[in-house]
Amino acid sequence: MFQELDNSLSTKFQSGRDSQIDAQIAVLNKDYATTGRSFVLKNTTRTTNVNWFNNAEPDSAQQTAMKNALRQGFEGTLNVYTVGCVKKK
């Protein structure tokens, strides 16, 4: 599951991003081929949330809230979240 976040209410998600996600799945499958594991894209969601996009740092309240709200699947489901936050100094 790819969970793509954006930071602007006026931004339209670009359709070209689907091909980037497909390419990333192909990279995962290539890199994990020797392990017997494979990845299949089940769903992509797109969410606009300025707070999550800018502040979902590891172990932060924003990251926890984002994952609790967006997570899909069961225990063995890989959810990938794309955000724009950078570590603040």
> For 40-58, b where at least 16 C-beta lie within 10 A, e where not — what string?
eeeeeeeebbeebbbbbee
Residue 25 predicted with pLDDT over 80 = yes
What do you get for the CA distance between the two ends of the chain, in Å?
Answer: 31
Beta strand 2-6 with 44-48 is parallel
- 26 or 45: which carries more pLDDT confidence? 26
- 61 or 2: which carries more pLDDT confidence? 61
